[in-house]
Every structure is written in structure tokens, then in C-alpha cells.
Structure 1
Amino acid sequence: MTLEIQINHRDFVLHCSGALYWVEKRMLLISDAHLGKVSHFRKYGSAIPGGAIHKNFLKLNEAVAYFEPESICFLGDLFHSTLNNEWHLFKEWVEGVAIPIVLVAGNHDIISPTKYHDINVTIVSEWSLDGFLLTHHPEERKDFFTLCGHIHPSILLAGKGRQFLKLPCFFRSPHQMILPAFGEFTGTYTMEPAEHDVVYVITKDDVVEIRKSL
């Protein structure tokens, strides 16, 4: 279900939901939840089962219950578009967890900051913390290791008989790590690891480290 790693002498735990837990800070980091996306597409006629709306909240609850964090940081694209009925579910969820929440705004975060402030969610454009840069878009900046999202990274694994399997992943390069999309109803972008990159593949129940030798 989890994999423990170190980045710059700090301890992190990768969860098969796509969440990242920073041990020293007792902080849960989540990227690209895209809440409201299912309702947005259903509004415009897409035949998406209504039950899909609740899967993101179930995943959020599972990750929070597992780690019992003292704070949560969303690395952008928390809500997919404008306000819809999922905002009320999010508001109830925020009230239920009752811990500080920070949103590092992404390109999809177009809801008025006032709405977030009203439910005690803090919004920032980026956040530097103990030598780490928390952003939405990937960025390598001097003297920082970046934790980010946006790309929705995945990796293509080759098996016997010309079989291929595409899986979401945490994609780590020497100076940054891109988190997978947490949201259930999101696409992925296939990454090609270089020599010094490390890929942490997410399966249904586990997180597995894979290096360039794949």
C-alpha cells in the first residue's frame, strides 16, 4: 500500500492512492484531485455514472484515515472548473477533517479565492518549506527540490508477448518529483525516464520502485 523513501534527508511515504506523506511535517500532499470534473461533464451530457462523484471523497477519507496528518496541501487543480454541486461535498469534507488545508493554485483553480477563504482553505501561488518548493507546474529552481503535479504522469511497462501496461506513477528526477493525479476521472501523460530518474509505479494495492533498467 505504501513505500517509504528519502528526499534530501527528509522522510516521505508514497501511498497507492497517489498521495504523498511528509513524515517530519505530518503533512499530506495531494495533486490534481479535479473535484467537480464528473459533475462538469455530466452537465454537458457525458454519460458518467453518478457514483463516480463520491470516489474522490472516498479516496481522500482513506488517505487521511491512514496517515492522520496534521495538515493537507493540495498541489493544484483541486477543483476542475467553476462551482457545481460537488463544492458542497468538498465543504462538508473540509469541515469533517478539521485540520489546516493549503491549496497551491493550479491552472484549473478558477473558483474565487473568497470561496476557499470562507471555508478556511488557504490559497498560495507556491510554497517554499525547508528546502522544498511546492508548486503545481513542474519547475526546477536552484537550491530547491520541487514537489509538483500538473502532468498526470504515467509509465508504459513492456511484458512478454508484446504486452504493455500503462500505470500512473510518481516521477522523480534529480531535482523534482511529479505526483500522479489523485482524481479518479483524469487522464495521464506517458513519461520516458532518463538515466537518473526514478519511477514509483502505482498499482491497485501497492507502490513499486522502477529504475531506468526497465
Structure 2
Amino acid sequence: MITIKNQHFTPDASGVLFWENKEILLVADVHFGKIAHFRKFGSAVPSAAIIANFQKLDEAIKKYNPRKLIFLGDLFHSDYNQEFELFECWVQQQNCSILLIKGNHDVVHPSFFKKANLEVLPHLIIGDFYLTHKPEHKPGYFTLCGHLHPGYALRGLGKQKLKLPCFYQAKNQLILPAFGTFTGLYLVEPKANESVYVCAQQEVIRVQ
């Protein structure tokens, strides 16, 4: 558990962050549509990978039973394709309210958001916290965001290297890992007084 400004957050190995006090599930950078986009242009990505993102979301919602689900941007990757239709059906099956903090990849026409009954905002303030897509220093607030797709390289004694997604806590901000499949990693090198929590299979481990 991570405690920030007297609020308790549980980072999950799936990449989601559960805000205990508010019963809010935070998810960053799902990039729905990316797999279908790759397949459309000839990339040999298995179609089963499309369903994997939905299954991961279902598992996280079942585990934490949130009152609200907030996507911290880049919910979608490109223009409209079949994954958007799947998402619209998925939304209709959920019991919690759903909100999107719009990211730079969320370029689909606003009519889709309206049709999917999805509330969309450029950013959101909840108490002492500023929720946005890109890392940003907001005076007086602690930022919760995504965009960076943070990862960390664990190195072994035999020069082995294992790259894993991570939660990256820098000064006055916590950056969530990318939730989606095939999103890539931006390796971070934490400075003094910064923390990294790597997502290792079924657990989250703080790197000292």
C-alpha cells in the first residue's frame, strides 16, 4: 500500500491503482484499438490479445469492486475500429460509473463517447489530487497520471536484465504503468527520494 496525503492506494500487478478511501479504480494507457490497428496493416498479432485487455479489466473490477472507474488517458489508440464496438458493449455490462481523462491518443469523434455513455474530462481534481493524462506539476496538488509507460530494468549478478512495468513515484506525482498489451516501456532511473514499484507477475515489489 502507498500512503499519500493521508490517502491509501493499492498498486496492483495488473497495472491498476485502487484508491481505497474513495473506492476508485485508476487505469492508465489501455490503448484499445491498437491491436486491431496493427492487424489491419498486416502485423501478426493474435486476435486473442484483444480480449485479454477486457479480461484483465474484468478481473480488476471483480477484485476491488470500485464505486468509480477512471481511465487516465489513452483509453483508445487510433481511429475507430472493431475494438471500440467491443468496448461499448463492455461498458454496458458494468455497475460502476466510468470516466475518461482524455489523453493525446483519444482522438475518436466525441459522438462515440456520448454513444458509449462515457463521461470525458481534460483533467479532474479530487481533494488534494490532480488527475490528468501526462505528468504535470500542479502547485498545491499531488498528480496521478499515466502517459509515460514507465518500466524498470532489474539487473542480476550475471548481467541478466529483466524489464518490467512499474509505478513511478516522483516528487508530487505518481505515474501509473501502461495497462494495455503491446504498449512498450519507457525505462526510468529513479533519483534520490523517488520510488519504483515493479509489477512482477502476481505482486508489486518496491525497489530499494
Tell me the TM-score normalized by structure 1.
0.95
For residues 13 and 196 of structure 2, the distance between their equivalents in structure 1, rounded to whole angstroms, comes to 13
Q: Report how many residues are paired.
A: 208
Q: Which residue of 1 aligns with 2:34?
A: 37
For residues 9 and 113 of structure 1, the distance between their equivalents in structure 2, rounded to whole angstroms, comes to 36
Q: Which residue of 2 aligns with 1:169?
A: 166
| Offset from partner CA, 1:39-89 (integer Å, 9 cap, x none) | 001001111111111110010000000000011000000011111011111
2:124 paired residue among 124, 127, 130:
127
For residues 54 and 16 of structure 2, the distance between their equivalents in structure 1, rounded to whole angstroms, comes to 13
Q: Which amino acid aligns with 2:180?
A: G
Structure 2 unaligned blocks of 5 or more: none
SS of 1:182 mapped into structure 2? coil
TM superposition shift of 1:183: 0.1
SS of 2:158 mapped into structure 1? helix
TM superposition shift of 1:114: 2.0
1:81 paired residue among 44, 68, 78:
78
For residues 112 and 59 of structure 2, the distance between their equivalents in structure 1, rounded to whole angstroms, comes to 25
For residues 128 and 148 of structure 1, the distance between their equivalents in structure 2, rounded to whole angstroms, comes to 12
Moved over 4 A (4+): none
Query: Which moves more between the two structures, 69-78 or 112-121?
Result: 112-121
Task: Answer yes or no: is 1:53 the counterpart of 2:40.
Answer: no
For residues 170 and 60 of structure 2, the distance between their equivalents in structure 1, rounded to whole angstroms, comes to 25
TM superposition shift of 1:19: 0.2
* Percentage identity across paired residues of the two chains: 45
Task: Answer yes or no: is 1:198 the counterpart of 2:181.
Answer: no
Q: Which amino acid aligns with 2:63?
A: Y
Q: Which residue of 1 aligns with 2:184?
A: 187
TM superposition shift of 1:5: 1.6
Alpha-carbon distance change, 66 to 181 in structure 1, aligned in 2, over 3 angstroms:
same
SS of 2:184 mapped into structure 1? coil
For residues 113 and 63 of structure 1, the distance between their equivalents in structure 2, rounded to whole angstroms, comes to 27
TM superposition shift of 1:118: 1.8
For residues 75 and 123 of structure 1, the distance between their equivalents in structure 2, rounded to whole angstroms, comes to 10
Q: Which amino acid aligns with 2:37?
A: H
For residues 156 and 129 of structure 2, the distance between their equivalents in structure 1, rounded to whole angstroms, comes to 36
For residues 96 and 165 of structure 2, the distance between their equivalents in structure 1, rounded to whole angstroms, comes to 28
SS of 2:143 mapped into structure 1? strand
Q: Which amino acid aligns with 1:82?
A: D
For residues 29 and 170 of structure 2, the distance between their equivalents in structure 1, rounded to whole angstroms, comes to 19
Q: Which residue of 1 aligns with 2:4?
A: 7
For residues 118 and 37 of structure 1, the distance between their equivalents in structure 2, rounded to whole angstroms, comes to 21
Q: Which residue of 1 aligns with 2:99?
A: 102
Tell me the TM-score normalized by structure 2.
0.98
Q: Which amino acid aligns with 1:55?
A: A
| RMSD, aligned α-carbons | 0.8
Q: Which amino acid aligns with 2:41?
A: Y
